[in-house]
Amino acid sequence: MSTTTMLQLVQQVTNELGIGTPASVAGNSNQDVIQILALMNATGYELLRRADWRELTKQHTFYTQATTTTGTWSTSSTTITVPSTAGLDTTYQVVGQGIPNATYVTAINSATTLSINYLPTEAGAGDTLTFQKVKYSLPADYYSTVPRTHWDKSKRWEMLGPESAQQWEWLLSGYISTGPRIRWRLLGAYFQIWPGVNADELLGFEYRSKGWANAADGTAKNSFTNDSDTCIYPDRLMVLSTKLKYFEAKGFDTTAIYRDYIMELETSIAQDTSAANLSFAPRPGTVLIGYDNIPDSGYGYDN
């Protein structure tokens, strides 16, 4: 992460453009300063999508939640009475005798009653119910997921997904819809799993954050708002991109500055992370016994 502040970046841009250098940026009423700050933020938004920046890749882990209780319900109503609805919400599914597959809580009506989306097929009076949380909120700075990083860390199995809408309906509605592996999909603002699991199972995945800017205290932000803010992008890339946008907005010739910007962008992306060495003639490894290390004698028996 760069330690150059937003104020210093804007001052570098104004110095190179030959316009007035501001002593502060946030709250500045000068139109050039306002425009440069807006263009610099636009740069941050666009660079977010240009590469998988190392400092924007984060890991998210969480424990599953579930609770077992008792309840009373009938086949003529979608209302269930339980000892307490505390801690329950519409991110939970309901499992119990006579409760159809893929039944979810649709509303919390009171301290002791809730509604579900299907009519039960059998009535229950003080029978066992399990509420399993199957929709988990995404991180506040979530932008996109990193493929094949989704793991059930408790069972040490990779979770399967993302499931398509068609596959998800097959899971919810088909005869054979469960197994030892957790399936997942992104639905609205939630990371959704199927089937529901017991409490305290550790799940996790990597994601790309949208917090390319950072406040002075290290809090991730998705835009520059204070003079002391910093960002994860290289300084020179931010300056050149802002200058390019300024030239475009003013109708100036951008040929030379565009060339400089592209060169800096490609260099920054290439140097942000390492890469594997690729061979045009790959060969199997020889870490086990093979032609290169097989002994001439001493196999443990006499001829």
Query: 69 pLDDT band (50/70/90 cuts)?
Result: very high
**What's the pLDDT score for residue 216?**
95
Q: pLDDT for 157-184, tens place per residue?
A: 999 999 999 999 999 988 776 778 999 9
pLDDT at 283 over 80: no
Tally Cβ neighbours within 10 Å of residue 234: 19
What would the mean pLDDT of 217-244 be, rounded to a whole number?
97
**What's the pLDDT score for residue 178?**
74
**What's the pLDDT score for residue 139?**
96
Cα–Cα distance, 128 to 68 (Å, whole number): 7
**What's the pLDDT score for residue 95?**
96
3-state class (DSSP) for residue 40: helix
Tally Cβ neighbours within 10 Å of residue 216: 11
**What's the pLDDT score for residue 257?**
96
**What's the pLDDT score for residue 300?**
63
Q: What average pLDDT is seen over the chain?
A: 93
What would the mean pLDDT of 44-48 be, rounded to a whole number?
97
In angstroms, the Cα distances linking 53 to 215, 220, 236, 265 are 19, 15, 16, 12
What would the mean pLDDT of 189-212 be, rounded to a whole number?
96
To 10 degrees, the CA torsion angle through 134, 199, 177, 179? 140
Could you tell me the pTM of the whole model?
Answer: 0.85
What would the mean pLDDT of 10-39 be, rounded to a whole number?
97
The label of the residue with tokens 């509604």 reads 115
Whole-number percent of the chain with pLDDT over 90 = 86
Cα–Cα distance, 292 to 287 (Å, whole number): 10
Task: Please provide the DSSP assignment of 42-93 as one string.
Answer: HHHHHHHHHS--GGGEEEEEEE--EEEEEEEE-TT-SEEE-S--TT--TTEE
Q: What is the DSSP letter of 240?
A: H
Comparison of pLDDT for 67 and 173, the residue scoring more: 67
Query: 280 pLDDT band (50/70/90 cuts)?
Result: confident
| Amino acid at position 228, single letter | S
Q: What is the DSSP letter of 204?
A: E
pLDDT at 150 over 60: yes
Phi, psi (rounded to 5 degrees) for 245? -65, -35
**Of the candidates 259, 221, 229, which has an alpha carbon nearest to the alpha carbon of residue 243?**
259
3-state class (DSSP) for residue 294: coil
Enumerate residues 6+ apart whose C-beta is below 8 A from 234.
2, 264, 268
Cα–Cα distance, 53 to 206 (Å, whole number): 13
**What's the pLDDT score for residue 192?**
98
**What's the pLDDT score for residue 287?**
60
Q: Tell me if 233 sits within 8 A of 44, measured CB to CB.
A: yes
Domain ranges of the chain: 6-53+212-270, 66-135, 136-208
Query: 37 pLDDT band (50/70/90 cuts)?
Result: very high
Q: At what angle do helices 255-272 and 235-250 cross, to 10 degrees?
A: 150
What would the mean pLDDT of 267-278 be, rounded to a whole number?
87
Cα–Cα distance, 190 to 210 (Å, whole number): 17
Q: In CATH, what number does 66-135 get?
A: 2.40.30
**What's the pLDDT score for residue 7?**
98
**What's the pLDDT score for residue 179?**
77
pLDDT at 254 over 70: yes
